[in-house]
Amino acid sequence: MEKIIMTLAELEAEAMRFAGTLAPSPRGATLVTLSGELGAGKTAFTKAVASALGVGETVTSPTFVLEKIYALPPGKHFDRLIHIDAYRLESGADLAPLGFDELMRSETNLILLEWPEKVRDALPEPSVHISIIAEPDGSRTVSYG
């Protein structure tokens, strides 16, 4: 599925719609990967998913801290939203210090990971892969796979 998004507000609405489609798998955490160039809107998309799931605190880019974990309010499918930015990682081995394997084991974890290309060798198949392309006119093409 592919969507053309004109504005940041539209991207946020799309991310909120997407958040509503997520359901846990009994096999472990739900992993959503987000690809796209710097500034494409991966973090903006994640922020809107967090907001849709009831994260009250401000979600900031984990580019420097690599990983942020947010508790979700009771009554949601998931207990925690984990936001990982793999931009600064060199290979999948760098995921180990983040406790990634452990995080993947809990079915109530929702993991959104930017830059899956950087850690491809250690990543399991994601539940959903999202690609965001910034077009020359400023619109975004969002595809789900």
Ligand X SMILES: Nc1ncnc2c1ncn2[C@@H]1O[C@H](COP(=O)(O)OP(=O)(O)O)[C@@H](O)[C@H]1O
Interacting residues toward ligand X by CB under 6 A: 5, 7-8, 11, 36, 38-44, 61, 114, 138, 140
- The residue written with tokens 């967090």 in the block is 50
Of the two residues 76 and 140, which places its CB atom closer to ligand X in the complex?
Answer: 140
Q: How far is the CB of 130 from ligand X (least distance, A)?
A: 11
Name the strands in the sheet holding 80-85, side by side, starting at the edge strand that comes first in the sequence.
2-5, 140-144, 128-134, 30-35, 109-114, 80-85, 67-71
Query: Which contiguous run of DSSP H or E holds residue 11?
Result: helix 8-21
Q: How far is the CB of 17 from ligand X (least distance, A)?
A: 14
Residue 96: contacted member of ligand X, Mg ion, none (CB under 5 to 8 Å, by partner type): none
Of the two residues 7 and 25, which places its CB atom closer to ligand X in the complex?
Answer: 7
Query: Which contiguous run of DSSP H or E holds residue 112?
Result: strand 109-114
Q: How far is the CB of 3 from ligand X (least distance, A)?
A: 11
Q: How many CB atoms lie within 10 A of CB 10?
A: 15
Of the two residues 24 and 98, which places its CB atom closer to ligand X in the complex?
Answer: 98
